[in-house]
Amino acid sequence: MRAFARRGYHACRVSDVAEEAGVAHGLIYHYFSSKEELLETIFRETWSELLAALREVEGSERPAPEQLRQVAAILLRSWRRQPDLVRVLVREVARSPQVQRRVADARGARFAVVTGQGGAGSRTGLGRWRGPACVVLASVVVLATVLPLAAVLLTSLTRAYGVPPGPGNLTLDHYRTVLFGIPKVARALRNSVLLAASAATLVVLLAAAVAYLSERLRWRAGRVLEGLLAVPYAVPGTVVAVAMILAYARPLPVLNVRLYDTAWILLVAYLARFLAVGLRTVSSGLAQVHASLEEAARIGGAGPGRAFRDVVVPIIWPSLRSAWVLVFIPAVAELTLSALLYSVGNETVGVVIYGLHEEGKVTLSAALAFVVTALLLAGHLLTHRAPRREWVT
């Protein structure tokens, strides 16, 4: 142990240990195949008392600060008795990859990112397949996104549906009519934005609570709850809408409040539909934050709420923001639920677009559809280009 403490565990050789002990090198190799085995044997034989004391402290029901003080006192007593052994243990062995791996395996620990930052993605060279791969990906983007949007834009600019687009057939009158000539369009835009923003905010809050119960507190019913919340997202939207009608067509017991024919039933339906999306996103972000960060805040005197607010929330903030966006964008243009649950005065954008198309006003529906698409795309780009929030606590 003196050789390990003087030279450093990783720089010390077995021959240095033999010279320190005054024995032949072969005698050391006869009993030990490596210095790791040598140190492990010495540690196991001379440090059993310390391990027993640490296990006793770990198994006690005392508060974390008290346990920390007891561990510090045990280490100080051990330092006075065997300073070389404690010096190697604390300064060198704790940094050994082999020891860290054994401790992780013994505790069943799993890998966790304590900074909340994703690692940089690695690049894989495609070689001669790079050109064909780019052609395939570009074709998919063009066929699935560019051509449909171009068709909507050209339809919204032509004077009449079916007329070939040309310099003499292009007009902006459809946009003027949609935005200023149809009152229900402005009302639908307002309803859709308010409902989508409210649903996204509530989804993030509920998802954070459920994810914390499941990931941190190891709530037994957490996994079952996650499975139940995924059902409204997995089944068709018409099934969810019919279920909402059957559940809320009558006034609620005790409260005597009727949600049917109001905007509240749309909000409840959006929550049921998109809560699984937000929960999965938030849970993935929370799973990467190691619980030791909260434990450190608790040792410093912070309560559970403050530890979550000042430590966990800043790290998982990108996940919370992503969950909000992933819920808000599809909720704005949602049609399946809204078509069955809307009432007069509570129309949404998807319902109005569908109604204009069914009335034969294809150019007007295309204009409104392109306006909504442009607004959502602009909001999405602004969200991703917004500077990251600096948290100061």
User: What is the Cα–Cα distance from 200 to 194, expressed in whole angstroms?
Assistant: 10
- pLDDT of the chain, 393 residues: tens digit per residue: 566 666 655 566 667 666 766 666 666 665 666 666 766 676 666 666 666 777 777 777 777 677 777 777 777 776 676 666 666 655 555 555 555 555 555 554 444 445 544 445 567 778 888 889 999 999 999 999 999 999 999 998 998 888 887 777 888 899 999 989 888 999 999 999 999 999 999 999 999 988 888 877 777 776 778 788 888 888 888 899 999 999 888 888 888 888 888 899 999 999 999 999 999 899 888 888 877 777 777 777 777 788 888 888 888 888 899 899 999 999 998 888 999 998 888 899 999 999 999 988 999 999 999 999 998 888 878 777 665 554 444
pLDDT at 101: 56
Looking at residue 261, its amino acid is D
Looking at residue 109, its amino acid is A
Q: How many CB atoms lie within 10 A of CB 246?
A: 10
User: What is the Cα–Cα distance from 355 to 296, expressed in whole angstroms?
Assistant: 57
User: What is the Cα–Cα distance from 265 to 248, expressed in whole angstroms?
Assistant: 8
The DSSP 8-state label assigned to residue 170 in this structure reads B
Residue for token pair 């998109």: 274
pLDDT at 129: 87
pLDDT at 111: 47
pLDDT at 392: 43
Report residue 259 CA to chain centroid gap: 32
pLDDT at 84: 64
What φ, ψ does residue 170 adopt, rounded to 5°? -95, 140
3.40.190.80, 3.60.150.10, 1.10.10.10, 1.10.357.10: CATH of 2-107: 1.10.357.10
Residue for token pair 């790079």: 130
**Domain ranges (residues) in the chain:** 2-107, 138-171, 182-385
Per-residue tokens: 98: 């082999």
User: What is the Cα–Cα distance from 254 to 45, expressed in whole angstroms?
Assistant: 69
User: What is the Cα–Cα distance from 207 to 196, expressed in whole angstroms?
Assistant: 16
Burial of 174 by CB count in 10 Å (0-12 exposed, 13-18 middle, 19+ buried)? Answer: buried
Q: How many CB atoms lie within 10 A of CB 376?
A: 17
pLDDT at 296: 79
pLDDT at 93: 52
Residue for token pair 């507190």: 217
Helix %, strand %, coil % for the chain, to 5?
75, 0, 25
Per-residue tokens: 302: 């912070």
CATH number of 182-385: 1.10.3720.10
